[in-house]
Every structure is written in structure tokens, then in C-alpha cells.
């Protein structure tokens, strides 16, 4: 049976302002109703696979767990203490997979890719299964439809079957002239970053070519700890692991590399123009989402959220409107969005990292207004969920319940607060908020004080494992 390994640790800065460090593109529903992570899991339906093992970082753990709940779930969720590229991430998964004496086929997938033709995707996976079972390291090469300069390429070698070839070599992103030669030859595929191999086959090749990576990962897994539904890799040991891609560490060196072509409407959605390419459009070539009016405008992408966005006399323009930031760019320049993100970072602004609306394991909050010594939030608590038992050194809080019922712990007292009622939490008071009801709890929180940062929280108890 196949064990899918889903890597969900990317940041997706080129899709700012929608994708941000704490809520990157794999957790967004950019193309359809499902998020990209959910679509990655959904396209496995019909294959003989186990529940997937997901690799992500600590900051995204609750997003992963929540999005997979109701979608078949995850077998396990491995938390990387920090990103070390794909070779160590896959090594962690392979080591975990063989712990009980098993040696499954690993199907390595990225959580932030779009594949429009699930049937063709599954057909390529089935074609790869035979070669992976025999000990080959299979990479999936995307059948190119343009001379693309944004992807690396795989050069196919000797034919092994109608659906597989030896790998003759990997090449870096080419210039346009070279990309045209690759495209016209028919012997080159886009490097998708998807793989299939037995866990033992990958580990054997990694031990041959990068034993330092394997040793560090072995020590990290040996000291891993279970935390709720998560497997926490040892931080100190993993910090000693070199950062390297699977291509550089293994695939470019091994003699066992096989490429299986895939023609399934694949895209890594690395830019807003890529989203425009794969999206349905109106008669004027516009792709719109939200409340949008486009007049005398062609080939534009408009992504709106809570307010009307209107275009007049524009062509080849991208407009992305979020609650706290707006991007307006020509489609030919969207690869440079990361430059804006870098400026936000260097200016110590929060918009590169976090949205105004922030998701938590218990629900979400929206920072609707902020001043020098106050902040107002709209808080939503899921039925049965509870915020941590906590206190603040620098701020007081006033809670007004808008809908639902809150169970409030305020110092030594615990009591119910219903709609149109309120309570006040003084500075330094230990407190907690819980939704004991069957419907979402909505309240307005007004914070006042000399410091209103999210790091002014001392947690005494937390059902989600975040207590200090």
C-alpha cells in the first residue's frame, strides 16, 4: 500500500497579500471551494493509499489538523522545528514510516500544487508503482505545454516502458532560448517535485550520498515526542541537519532515478499570473472572485473579499484586495511581489506575516480597529472550544457578547455571559473564555493598556498544548 507524504511547509510569498507566512497558500481556497491542502488529499481518493503523513512547521499545526478534519484526516502530522528543505523532510517521513518494520511506497507530494486532471494524475501514480516497488526512485515529469523559464527540467534517457524512462539528467531553470530548445525536443519535462519510492530505497541512497543528513534525521526522530495529534521532532538534533533539496542530495546523484511523464494540468501556482492561467475566465478573459465590477477591462485577475472592487479600462492587471492590504500589479511583474514582502519585513511591518483575521485552534479573531493604547477585536469561538487560562501584564480587556453564550473565568469566579451582556478583565487577572453552547460564540473584545502585543500572554493551562 502507498503512504502519501504531503509536504505543507511553504510560505508562498509571491501570492501576497493573500498568502502570508502564518497563513500561506496551501491553506487557501484560491482555485476552488477546497483549500490546496484539501485538494491534495482529495485527489488521492480511488488509489490504494493509507491516510497521508503530513509534514509542516509548528506554527501551522492547527491549520493542518483543522483542514484535514472531515477530509479523511491525516495518519500523522510531523512538526519540523525549522525548515531544512525537502531532503531532510522526506527523510523524517521515511524514518517514521519504517519504525514498525514496514517499508511502504512513499508518494511524496507538495500541498500547494494544482492538478486539474485527477484521472491523469492517478494514472501516472499507478504507472510509477511498478518501478518504485522494484527499488527505483521515481520522479514525475510534467509534460511541458510552453517553453517555461520558471521551472527546472528533467532530461529523459532510455525508454523503460511506454510510461517511464531513465533519468539522463536534471537541469536548472533555463533562459528562454534554452527553454524553447527543451520544449521542441520533447525530451525534457518540467520538474514537479513529486516522487515515489520505497522508504528503504530512499534512505539507502541518502545514506550513500548524504549520510550527514540521514544521521541528523535519525537522531531527531529517535528523540521525537508525541504532542496531542502531532509528532514533535527534536529541535536541537534537527538544528544540526544540513539544509538540502532532494534533487541535490539524492536525485541528481543516484543511478536509480526514473521519470514518469504526467500530463494532468499541473501548476505549482507560484504567482498570480499562474492562477489566472489555470482559472475559468469570462468572455473578456477576466478571472474575478468576490464583489467585482469590470468595465472595458480584459485579461485581468481580481480577487476581492469584503468590499466592492471595480475596474475600468484596464488590461493584464492583477488586483488582490484583503482586509488590511491591496495589491495592484501588471501581470508581467507579479514575480516581483516578493520584493514588496521584503520591504515589509525590513520595515518591521506585520502585513507580510499575518492577516488581520487570525485563525486559532479554538476559532478566530479579527482586529477591527487599533489605536495607540487600545485595540478592538471580533472574536469567534467554536462550540465546545476554550481559550487558554491566561493573564496579561500590560492590558485589560472588556468583553461584549454579541451572539451565543460565554462561560467566563474571571479570577476566582466562573459565570455565564449571554447576548448583550459584558464583563471586564483587569490587568494581571487570571481569566479564561469558553463556548459551552452548540452555536459559535461571537463577542467584541476591547483591549486597553500600554502594550497590546500578542506576546503579552502568560498561559497557565491550555487544551491545545500551548501552556507556558
| Reported pTM | 0.90
- Distance separating alpha carbons of residues 88 and 92, to the nearest angstrom: 6
Contact between 286 and 294 under an 8 Å Cβ cutoff? The reply is yes
Q: What is the pLDDT of residues 141-185, one digit of tens each?
A: 999 999 988 899 999 999 999 999 999 999 999 999 999 999 999
- pLDDT bin (cut points 50, 70, 90) of residue 73 is low
For residue 85, CA distances in Å to 8, 20, 66, 245 come to: 12, 19, 24, 5
CB-based contacts of 195: which residues, under 8 Å, 6+ apart? 90, 106, 107, 108, 137, 138, 139, 140, 246, 251
Q: What is the mean pLDDT of residues 382-409?
A: 97
pLDDT at position 165, please?
96
Average pLDDT, integer, range 264-281? 92
Q: Which residues pair with 425 in a beta bridge?
A: 397
pLDDT of residue 422: 97
| pLDDT for residue 70 | 65
How confident is the model over 399-409, as a mean pLDDT? 98
Q: Which three cell numbers stand for residue 187?
A: 525530451
Residue whose C-alpha cell reads 523532510 in the numeric block: 89
β-strands 114-115, 266-267: how paired? antiparallel
The CA-CA-CA angle for residues 79, 82, 109, to 5°, reads 60
Judge contact between 219 and 237, C-beta under 8 A.
yes
Q: What are the sequence ranges of the domains in the chain?
A: 2-267, 282-340, 357-461
Supply the mean pLDDT for the chain: 94
Residue 340, Ramachandran bin (φ over 0: left; ψ between -120 and 50: alpha; else beta): alpha
Q: What CA–CA distances, in Å, run from 402 to 307, 405, 445?
A: 23, 9, 10
Three-state DSSP at 231 gives strand
Summarised one tens digit per residue, pLDDT across range 334-359 is 989 999 999 999 999 999 999 999 98
148 C-beta neighbours (distance < 10 Å), count: 17
- 357-461: CATH topology is Jelly Rolls (2.60.120)
CATH class given for the domain over 2-267: alpha beta
Amino acid at each position: 500500500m502507498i503512504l502519501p507524504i504531503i509536504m505543507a511547509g511553504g510560505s508562498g510569498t509571491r501570492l501576497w497579500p493573500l498568502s502570508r507566512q502564518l497563513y500561506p497558500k496551501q491553506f487557501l481556497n484560491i482555485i476552488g471551494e477546497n483549500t490546496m491542502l484539501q485538494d491534495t488529499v482529495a485527489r488521492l481518493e480511488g488509489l490504494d493509499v493509507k491516510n497521508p503523513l503530513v509534514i509542516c512547521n509548528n506554527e501551522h499545526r492547527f491549520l493542518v489538523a483543522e483542514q484535514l478534519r472531515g477530509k479523511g484526516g491525516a495518519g500523522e502530522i510531523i512538526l519540523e522545528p525549522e525548515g531544512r528543505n525537502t531532503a531532510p523532510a522526506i527523510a523524517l517521513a521515511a524514518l517514521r514510516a519504517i519504525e514498525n518494520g514496514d517499508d511502504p511506497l512513499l508518494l511524496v507530494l507538495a500541498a500547494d500544487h494544482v492538478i486539474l486532471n485527477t484521472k491523469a494524475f492517478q494514472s501516472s501514480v499507478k504507472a510509477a508503482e511498478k518501478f518504485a516497488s522494484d527499488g527505483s526512485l521515481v520522479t514525475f515529469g510534467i509534460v511541458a505545454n510552453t517553453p517555461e523559464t520558471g521551472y527546472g527540467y528533467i532530461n529523459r534517457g532510455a525508454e523503460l516502458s511506454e510510461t517511464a524512462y531513465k533519468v539522463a539528467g536534471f537541469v536548472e531553470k533555463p533562459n528562454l532560448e534554452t527553454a524553447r530548445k527543451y520544449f521542441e525536443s520533447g525530451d525534457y519535462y518540467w520538474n514537479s517535485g513529486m516522487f515515489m519510492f520505497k522508504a528503504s530505497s530512499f534512505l539507502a541512497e541518502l545514506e550513500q550520498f548524504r549520510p550527514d543528513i540521514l544521521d541528523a534525521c535519525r537522531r531527531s526522530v529517535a528523540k521525537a515526542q508525541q504532542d496531542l495529534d502531532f509528532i514533535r521532532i527534536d529541535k536541537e538534533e534537527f538544528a544540526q541537519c544540513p539544509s538540502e533539496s532532494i534533487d541535490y542530495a539524492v536525485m541528481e546523484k543516484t543511478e536509480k532515478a526514473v521519470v514518469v511523464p504526467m500530463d494532468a494540468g499541473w501548476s505549482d501556482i507560484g504567482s498570480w499570473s499562474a492562477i489566472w492561467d489555470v482559472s475559468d475566465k469570462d468572455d473578456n478573459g477576466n478571472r474575478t472572485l468576490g464583489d467585482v465590477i469590470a468595465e472595458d477591462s480584459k485579461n485581468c485577475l481580481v480577487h476581492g473579499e469584503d468590499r466592492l472592487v471595480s475596474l475600468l479600462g484596464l488590461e493584464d492587471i492583477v488586483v488582490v484586495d484583503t482586509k488590511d492590504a491591496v495589491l495592484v500589479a501588471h501581470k508581467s511583474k507579479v514575480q516581483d511581489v516578493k520584493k514588496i514582502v521584503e520591504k515589509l519585513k525590513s520595515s518591521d511591518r506585520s502585513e507580510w506575516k499575518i492577516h488581520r483575521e487570525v485563525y486559532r485552534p479554538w476559532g478566530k479573531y479579527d482586529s477591527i480597529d487599533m489605536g495607540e493604547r487600545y485595540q478592538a477585536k471580533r472574536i469567534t469561538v467554536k462550540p465546545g472550544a476554550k481559550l487558554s487560562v491566561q493573564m496579561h501584564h500590560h492590558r485589560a480587556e472588556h468583553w461584549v457578547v454579541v451572539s451565543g453564550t460565554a462561560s467566563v473565568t474571571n479570577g476566582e469566579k466562573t459565570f455565564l455571559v449571554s447576548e448583550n451582556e459584558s464583563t471586564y478583565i483587569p490587568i494581571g487577572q487570571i481569566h479564561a473564555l469558553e463556548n459551552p453552547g452548540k452555536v459559535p460564540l461571537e463577542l467584541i473584545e476591547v483591549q486597553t493598556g500600554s502594550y497590546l502585543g500578542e506576546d503579552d500572554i502568560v498561559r497557565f493551562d491550555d487544551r491545545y498544548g500551548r501552556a507556558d
